[in-house]
Chain A
Amino acid sequence: MVANQITKPNFPLADHFDSPEQQVDAGKLGMWLFLATEILLFGGLFVAYAIFHNLHPELFKAGHRYLDVKLGAINTVVLLFSSLTVVLAIHAAQKNKTSMVALNLVITLVCAVTFLVVKYFEYTHKFHAGLLPGYFFTNGEIPAPDQAHIFFGIYFLMTGLHGIHVVIGIIVLLWLLVRSLKGEFNEQYYLPLELGGLYWHLVDVIWIFLFPLLYLIR
């Protein structure tokens, strides 16, 4: 029919779509909608953060000193760099450079894993120091009222939920890597790369909000 005339040769078109453009548009719209829900998901936590910051500003001042700004900053740079490499991967696909796609994805993956390793060291330090949420809070030296555990509750909730997103991101990136190694992406078809990239940018952007709110707050 009419639709079939504009079908591109290297584009796996699902049979309920009429044209590649329609499929790409629908995919992107769906991803943006999903990202909106993700932002709202974190939005709930940001609201909780704002409320408790309003109620007990002293907790946040006292609490943030126990977070390692240096490690947080390293992680910020690592994530920002990984966002760049994702963009480069898409760019490479548009130029039909299949090996560059894979290389950039690998670099992104390395960054993602680095982020988690750094986070692991941060978490273990907190565990040893007893800087934990609620009943598990055992740190005695912190010069804050007895509700300091709320700050660490929020800290672990926000960074933990973000961490889960990083893990999911790694799985997505691995899946993209496998597909790129099979040579599935080319100048006509790179939609999954774009969608995965959008998701990874979101993970990045959320961290960019978390870092100042938790580590740099005064």
Chain B
Amino acid sequence: MVANHLEEESYLTSKKGISSWLFTLDHKRIGLMYLVSVMFFFFMGGLFAILLRMELWSAGETIVKAKQYNQLFTLHGAIMVFLVIIPGIPASLGNFVLPLQLGAKDVAFPRINLMSYYIYVVGALIALSSLFVGAIDTGWTFYTPYSITTDGGVVVMVFAAFVLGFSSIFTGVNFIATVHKLRAPGMTWFRMPLFIWGIYATAIIQIMATPVLAITLVLLIIERVFHVGIFDPQLGGDPVLFQHFFWFYSHPAVYIMILPGMAVISELITTFSQKRIFGYKAIAYSSIAIAVISFLVWGHHMFVSGQSELVGMIFSALTFLVAIPSGVKMFNWAATMYQGSISLATPMLWAMGFFLLFAIGGLTGCFLGTLSIDVHLHDTYFVVAHFHYVMVGGTFMAFMGGIFYWWPKMTGKMYNETMGVWSVILVVLGFNLTFFVQFLMGAQGMPRRYYHYLDQFQIYHQISTVGSFLLGFGFLFSVITLLVSLKHGKKAPPNPWHAATFEWTETASPPIEHNFHHQPICTRGPYEYDQIAKSV
């Protein structure tokens, strides 16, 4: 039996030729295609970030004019949000790992899965084509009435975000149906790995919030083209209504970004501690709690937009409420390591980096939830630093951790451990150098999206710029580490980390096209390290 299995080819080599990739219905291949696309756009967005930091080396013109600077930060934001962080973990790692962890042969709707990938590609191309119509300078939030009056390809970019929304919706529908209907025999809800819980909670937000964004963007396009007067104050409309609509989506979207990151971290911490996760149900439920409460906090982006004190009070209270489940997760992860058998391999180091940076990101969120403090900090670099700590320090660190964790499974190759460790060190150092000073500068009153700035901020800006180069180099080095492994890496065993979930225990590295030779049967929880059966 075993010998027969080894002869069957992996999903990577079972079919050949470019069209076997382009028209594949295999969730693993689609996941890889997403991964490559997302990484491509990550480096493009990163390039814009480096240009921004170079511009800010000195006040006034350093390398570009004010208009181009505004276009650069808009592109940086729009690409990173819509093309990188939102699809990032769910569409790439989620696609690859979720069916494997569930013991399923594929996602519930493989054709819709492929379709959502192509919708993503089309959306991305539309977004890039806005550059040729005239780069937009509205900021990624497209606030009205500025976005109605400024020139450039606003309609094209907004339409791109609209299209990308559908990709996100279809992915969400697919994952929910898969989790509900395609679990392996014996896999009850509380035997699911926490990664699945996180992706499941994410999918709920994706399908509930994204349609509202879609209609908001449609309204914006209609407003700009036909001047309907919904958002345009000159025609009797309400520009603040746009902010309500936009944040009703975009705040939950913040959790579309961070929940999958937390989901990855839950897997990493338990595996590399060889210990059952502490408070499984607390972590699972807290994901769902975050998903639900995240719909009720959008107003905290608008404390100074002229809403009443009462509304401000309610949103502030709800914002603090959503902080609790995130805090609980942090404590649970820490407790998981207690009395474990901890290995500081590269994926675990990414998780440690996440822990450090996300702690800072989360705690600085307390400043912004506190009403009177937020008045001073709103729209300053403090906010910029805060969300970079959460989005890059949180989500993206987890994303990298996940890639390094599942890389042997995806490619069948082990990367060089020393290079992996250095990647983490470079990124964590570069990141803190870039963004920590921005807390200081923001608290002292440096507004965001400023091309000119007062002299006193120059030293902070210069430290930040130096840091951004280190950070960029760190990410480049990480990718090089991975790419080198494709050619020179050792062959990966089926379960190099001694993990206890299906994708490691029940299938080879890389898996065969239909994932498993036999339908796996689930007889235990996902983190029972004592009971890992003999590997495949």
Contacts and interface: CB of A to CB of B under 8 A. Distances in A.
Tell whether any CB of A sits under 8 Å from a CB of B in the complex. yes
A133 B237 CA distance: 12
Given A16-B104, A26-B181, A48-B230, A37 B236 contact: no
A147 B177 contact: no
Interface residues of B, number: 44
Interface stretch (A38-46, A95-103, A110-118): A38-46
Given A37-B210, A44-B212, A147-B236, A30 B226 contact: no
A181 interface: no
Nearest to A147: B236
B245 interface: yes
A171 to B, nearest CB: 15
B208 A136 contact: no
A163 to B, nearest CB: 14
B110 A41 contact: no
A84 interface: no
Contacts of B216: 44
A153 B181 CA distance: 43
A141 interface: no
A163 B416 CA distance: 57
B229 interface: yes
Contacts of B379: none
A37 B235 contact: no
Nearest to B216: A44
A33 B207 contact: yes
A47 B216 CA distance: 11
B229 A147 contact: yes
B524 interface: no
A17 to B, nearest CB: 8
B176 interface: yes
A149 interface: yes
Contact of B219 (A18, A42, A48, A56): A48
Given A26-B182, A29-B176, A33-B173, A133 B229 contact: yes
Contact of A147 (B174, B215, B235): B235
Contacts of B227: 133-136
Interface string B226-252: 111110100111100100010000000
A15 B244 CA distance: 45
Contacts of A149: 228-229, 235
Given A29-B180, A33-B173, A150 B208 contact: no
Interface string B379-405: 000000000000000000000000000
Given A30-B109, A34-B173, A44-B245, A136 B226 contact: yes
B219 A44 contact: yes
Interface string B90-109: 00000000000000111111
B149 interface: no
Nearest to B181: A26
Contacts, number: 121
Contact of A41 (B215, B230, B245): B215
A157 interface: yes
A40 B211 contact: yes
A40 B212 contact: yes
A25 interface: yes
Nearest to A149: B229
A168 interface: no
B199 interface: no
Given A37-B211, A44-B212, A48-B230, A15 B105 contact: yes
Interface in A105-147: 133-136, 146-147
A153 B236 CA distance: 12
Contacts of B237: 150
B113 to A, nearest CB: 11
A135 B226 contact: yes
A43 to B, nearest CB: 7
B348 interface: no
Nearest to B222: A157
Contact of B177 (A26, A41, A52, A161): A26
B115 to A, nearest CB: 13
A135 B223 CA distance: 10
B136 interface: no
B231 to A, nearest CB: 10
A10 interface: no
A17 B514 CA distance: 12
A77 interface: no
B214 interface: yes
B128 interface: no
A1 B518 CA distance: 9
A153 B228 contact: yes
Contacts of A30: 108-109, 112, 173-174, 177
Contact of A153 (B109, B218, B226): B226
A146 B229 CA distance: 11
A7 interface: no
Contacts of A6: none
Given A26-B182, A150-B230, 19 more contacts: A15-B105, A16-B110, A26-B108, A30-B174, A30-B177, A33-B177, A36-B207, A36-B208, A41-B212, A43-B211, A51-B241, A55-B238, A133-B222, A133-B228, A134-B227, A149-B229, A150-B237, A153-B222, A153-B226
